[in-house]
Structure 1
Amino acid sequence: MFDRRHVLGGLTFASVAVMSRSVQAGNVTTQAGPRFAVTIDDFRFEDGPQQNGAARHRAILDALSAAGIQAAGLVTGKHIDNVEAGSHLAAWSEAGHAIGNHTYSHAYYGGSDPGDLGADIDRVAVLLAAYTTQRPWFRFPYLAEGRTVEFRDRMRGVLRDRGLRNAHVTIDASDWYVNQRLLERLARDPGADITPYGDYLVQHLLGRAAFYDGLAREVLGYSPLHTLLIHHNLTTALFLPRILEGFRAAGWTAVDADTVFAHPIYQAQPDIAPAAHSLIWQLAKADGRFEARLRSPGEDGPYEKPAMDALGL
C-alpha cells in the first residue's frame, strides 16, 4: 500500500467563491442539508474473501440502484484491460453510471520525478472510448497533482490539452485502510464477525464528511455539492447500503455525479504546491487562515490505526 505521507491557470479562489455563491442563489444548492455524489476509484475484479470480483461489483451496482443515484467510477486501466473486466465496466455504464480516467498505471505524480502523465492517461483513454457514459473527468492517483509549482502546472497542462477536468474529491477518507484491515482479519480468521468493520467505516466516513463540510462552510461561506471518495473493494461491496443510509440519517442527500461535477467549485485550481489531498483541504491551504486545521496528509491509515487497534479490528 502506498504511503500518502510522502489558484493558477484557471479560476482563482475568489472567482470560484463568487461563482459558487451565484449558483447557490440560483437554487442549485437550496435544498436543506449537505449533498454529495458517490465516486468510486480503482475498479478491481480479482477474487477475494467473502465475495469474488463479479459479486463485489454486482453488490455495488445493486446498492446504487436501490438508492436511485448515479455514481462516478474513476477507473485504472491496468485493472480493466481484459475481457471479463470490460464486461463488468459495460454493466456499470449500462446502469447509467459515469466513467472517468484514473490513469493506466496508478503511478504517483506528486514525487520528484512524476513521469509521463499524458501517456498514462492516453493508454486508458483507448479502453474507455467505447463506453457511452464516459466523461471528460480525470482523477489523480493518490490525489497528488504535483510536488512543485512547475510540476503542478505541467500536470494541469496535460489535462487541459486533452480537454479533461480534474475530478476533485471534497470528502477524502481512509476506507482503503479499513478494507485492508478487514482483509487481514479474514486471512487470519475467515469466520470473523465483519459487522464491527462496517460500524467503524460508516462512522469514519461520516466524521470526515462532517469535517470537510464544516471546513468548506468556513472557507467558502456555504456547503458545496460534495464528492465522497470510496474504493471498489470489499468494504464498499459489503457496506455501501449502510454507508448511504448512514449519510441519509445524518442529514445528507445523495445526488447524481453529473449534477455535482457541474458545480463551479470543481473548476478551482488552488495556487498551492505541493498540490494534493481534498479540494477543500487545498482551498483552505490557499486561503491561509486554516493552517492549524490542516494535517498532512489529509487522510491516511495511521490516523485510524489506534482506534481500530483499540476496538480489536
Structure 2
Amino acid sequence: MTVRALLLLVALVTMLLPRELTVHQLLPLANAEETPGKRIALSFDDVPRGPGAFVAPAERPAMLIASLRTAGVEQAAFFVNPARIAPADGDARTIDAYVAAGHVIANHTNSHPHLSAMSAADYLADIDRAEAWLRGRPGYRPWFRYPFLDEGGRDKAKRDAVRAGLAERGLSNGYVTVDGSDWHMEQLAVDARRAGKDIDLDALRDLYVETHLESAEFADRLAQRAIGRSPAHMLLLHETDLAALFVEDLVAALREAGWTIVTADAAFADPIYRALPDVPFANGTLTEMLAWEQDLPPPRWYERNDTAIAAPLFAARVLHEETRP
C-alpha cells in the first residue's frame, strides 16, 4: 500500500467514527435549576436467556412483563441474541410480547462473543447477522450493546474498527452506566439450587435490590465527579429469574431513594451516550470509562462487581453459611 493510499484509508475510518463529545459538552446545563434529578432506565441483556434457578424459561417473560407493568415501567430495552432464538420454544413470540407491552429491542450480537477473542471483521459480521433478524421488526432501535461490555480491551485498533463499523451501519453504542453484576448473583443461585442448598428468597430479594440501588448511587456520584452532572442513567440487568421475581421491588426502592424511572429512549437521548472514551482498557460501564479518562482516582468500579466480594456476601446472607474473614 502506498503512503497516499494509507492516508486515504485513515481519513475514511476517521470520517466513519461517530463524532466524539468532549467532556465540556457533557457538563451541567447553563441553568442549574434546569438540571433534572436522578433518572434511570432499565435494560435487559441476553434475550432469550437460558434456565435459571426458580422459574421455567417459558414462564419468565410473562412474569417479567407483568412485574414491569405493575412497577409502572413504561419502556425498558431488551438486547437480543437471535442465535439463541429457538422457534420450537416460542422465543420469537416472547420478544414480540415484550414489544407489545411497550418495550423496545436492540442488538446484542447474534451469538454473544467476546470482541477481545476475535477479529473486528468477524465481530461485525456477527452483528450483521443479528441486524438481519432485528431490523424492521416492531420496537426495533438502532442500538448495539457489547456482550460482556467488552469493547476490545487493550486493542485500540480493534476498538476503533468496530466503532467505525457501527457508525457505518447506523448503530449507536447502547452503553450502560450502572451495573450490579446480576448475572453473577443469578449464577450463584443456580449453583446453590443444583447443590441442594436452602435459599432464603427474602434475603436474596433484599440483596438484589440493595446491590443495584447501591450501584446506581455509586455510578451517579462518579458521573457527577467526571462530567459535573447527573446524566440519565442506564441500568444493566439480564433476562433472569431474579429480574422476574424482584424487579418490582427494585423499582420501588429506586423511587423511594429519589430516582425517576425514564424510558430507554429518553435515557439514550442524553448526550453522554455519544461519548467515545479513550482509555487504556476499553471494557466496563461508560461511567467508569469517563472517570478513568478524566483521571479520577479509584474506586471507579462498584465493589460488588468484584466476584470475590459478592460471592461471600451471597453465601452469608442468602445461604446463611459461615464465611471466613
Q: 2:288 aligns with which of 272, 281, 284?
A: 281
User: What does 1:123-138 align with in structure 2 at a 5 Å threshold?
Assistant: 123-138=129-144
Judged with a 3 Å threshold, the aligned counterparts in structure 2 of structure 1 residues 303 and 16 are, in CA distance, closer, same or farther, namely farther
Identity of matched residues, %: 34
1:305 Cα offset (Å): 1.6
The answer to whether the 8 A contact 1:277-1:298 is kept is: no
Q: 1:71 aligns with which of 73, 76, 97?
A: 76
Q: Tell me, which stretches of 5 or more residues in structure 2 are unaligned? A: 1-16, 320-325
Judged with a 3 Å threshold, the aligned counterparts in structure 2 of structure 1 residues 190 and 82 are, in CA distance, closer, same or farther, namely farther
Distance 2:278 2:199 in 1: 47
Q: What whole-Å deviation, never above 9, does each CA across 1:255-293 have from its counterpart, x for those lacking one?
A: 1111111111110101113211110101001111x1332
The answer to whether the 8 A contact 1:281-1:298 is kept is: no
1:11 Cα offset (Å): 1.8
Q: Does 1:294 align with 2:300?
A: yes
SS at match of 2:221: helix
User: What does 1:195-206 align with in structure 2 at a 5 Å threshold?
Assistant: 195-206=202-213
Number of positions where the alignment pairs a residue of Structure 1 with one of Structure 2: 300
The answer to whether the 8 A contact 1:45-1:57 is kept is: no
**What TM-score results when the alignment is normalised by the length of structure 1?**
0.88
Pick the structure with greater CA Rg: 2
The answer to whether the 8 A contact 1:173-1:300 is kept is: no
Q: 1:269 aligns with which of 276, 281, 285?
A: 276
User: What does 1:164-313 align with in structure 2 at a 5 Å threshold?
Assistant: 164-189=171-196, 192-288=199-295, 290-295=296-301, 299-313=305-319
Distance 1:311 1:191 in 2: 12
The answer to whether the 8 A contact 1:202-1:242 is kept is: yes
Equivalent residue number for residue 161 of structure 1: 168
Over aligned residues, Cα RMSD in angstroms? 2.4
Amino acid at match of 2:279: I
Equivalent residue number for residue 114 of structure 2: 108
Equivalent residue number for residue 85 of structure 2: 80
**What TM-score results when the alignment is normalised by the length of structure 2?**
0.85
1:49 Cα offset (Å): 4.2
Judged with a 3 Å threshold, the aligned counterparts in structure 2 of structure 1 residues 128 and 70 are, in CA distance, closer, same or farther, namely same
The answer to whether the 8 A contact 1:16-1:268 is kept is: no
Judged with a 3 Å threshold, the aligned counterparts in structure 2 of structure 1 residues 249 and 297 are, in CA distance, closer, same or farther, namely closer
Q: What whole-Å deviation, never above 9, does each CA across 1:134-189 have from its counterpart, x for those lacking one?
A: 00000001111122221110110110110000000000121111111111222233
Judged with a 3 Å threshold, the aligned counterparts in structure 2 of structure 1 residues 199 and 123 are, in CA distance, closer, same or farther, namely same
Judged with a 3 Å threshold, the aligned counterparts in structure 2 of structure 1 residues 26 and 265 are, in CA distance, closer, same or farther, namely farther
SS at match of 2:237: strand
Q: Tell me, which stretches of 5 or more residues in structure 1 are unaligned? A: 1-7
User: What does 1:16-55 align with in structure 2 at a 5 Å threshold?
Assistant: 16-18=25-27, 21=29, 27=34, 29-30=35-36, 33-44=37-48, 46-55=50-59
Distance 2:117 2:51 in 1: 32
Equivalent residue number for residue 124 of structure 2: 118
SS at match of 1:236: helix
Distance 2:274 2:48 in 1: 29
Distance 2:303 2:122 in 1: 24
User: What does 1:84-103 align with in structure 2 at a 5 Å threshold?
Assistant: 84-103=90-109
SS at match of 1:116: helix
Equivalent residue number for residue 12 of structure 1: 21
1:48 Cα offset (Å): 4.8
Distance 1:81 1:161 in 2: 30
Distance 2:237 2:192 in 1: 20
Distance 1:45 1:274 in 2: 28
Equivalent residue number for residue 5 of structure 1: none
The answer to whether the 8 A contact 2:111-2:126 is kept is: yes
- More off after superposition, 122-131 vs 97-106: 122-131
